[in-house]
Amino acid sequence: MKADKFIPYSEVSFATVPGRATRFFRKFVPWQLYRFIVLNLKMMRIVIGGHS
pLDDT single digits (tens) 2-30: 677 777 777 766 778 899 999 999 999 99
pLDDT at 1 over 60: no
Q: What is the mean pLDDT of residues 21-43?
A: 97
Cβ distance 48 to 40 under 8 Å?
no
**pLDDT computed for residue 15 by the predictor:** 72
Q: Is-contact 12 6, C-beta < 8 A? A: yes
